[in-house]
A = this chain, B = another copy of it.
Amino acid sequence: MKLSKCIAVTVLGACLGFTSTASANSDAVAKDGTVKVPPFSMPMSSYASDAAGPYWHKIVSMPGLPLSADIEKLRVHYDAMNKARADLMLDMYDVTIENSTVAGVPVKIVEPVGGAVEGKLLINLHGGAFLWGAGNGELVEAIPIAALSGYRVMTVDYRQGPEHVFPAASQDVFAVYQEMLKSYDARHIGIYGCSAGGILTAQATAWIIREGAPVPGAIGTFCGSGVDYAGDSSQLDPVYGGATPVSEGGMPLTMMRLPYFNSVKEASAIVTPGDFPETLAKFPPTLLLAGSRDFAASAVTIMQRRLAGVGVPSKLYLFDGFWHAFFMDAEIPESQEAFDLIVGFFKAHLGDG
Contact = CB atoms under 8 A, between A and B. Distances in A.
Which of A48, A73, A231, A323 is most buried by chain B, counting CB atoms within 10 A of its CB? Answer: A231
A267 interface: no
A318 B320 contact: no
A99 interface: no
Interface of A: 1, 3-25, 27-48, 52-57, 59-70, 73, 127-131, 195-196, 229-253, 255, 257-258, 292-295, 297-298, 301-302, 304-305, 308-309, 315-321, 323-325, 337, 341, 344
A35 B60 CA distance: 11
Contact of A7 (B40, B60, B258): B60
Contacts of A323: 11-12
Contact of A73 (B1, B37, B67, B233): B1
Contacts of A252: 20
Main secondary structure of the interface of A (DSSP, over half): loop
Given A18-B253, A36-B41, A243-B9, A305 B292 contact: no
B33 A41 contact: no
Contacts of A3: 63-65
A34 B42 contact: yes
Given A3-B64, A233-B292, A316-B318, 17 more contacts: A6-B60, A6-B62, A6-B63, A8-B60, A8-B238, A10-B66, A17-B130, A18-B129, A18-B258, A25-B241, A25-B243, A29-B60, A34-B53, A37-B42, A41-B247, A47-B230, A315-B315
A238 B24 contact: yes
Contacts of A8: 60, 238, 240-243
A11 B243 contact: no
A249 B22 contact: yes
27 contacts: A3-B64, A6-B61, A6-B65, A9-B241, A9-B250, A11-B323, A12-B294, A16-B195, A18-B229, A19-B68, A24-B242, A25-B242, A29-B60, A32-B44, A32-B57, A33-B52, A35-B42, A35-B241, A42-B232, A47-B231, A47-B232, A47-B302, A48-B231, A231-B321, A301-B320, A305-B337, A309-B337
A16 to B, nearest CB: 5
Nearest to A345: B308
B29 A241 contact: yes
Nearest to A129: B17
A100 to B, nearest CB: 26
Contact of A23 (B7, B36, B243): B243
Contacts of A32: 43-44, 53-54, 57
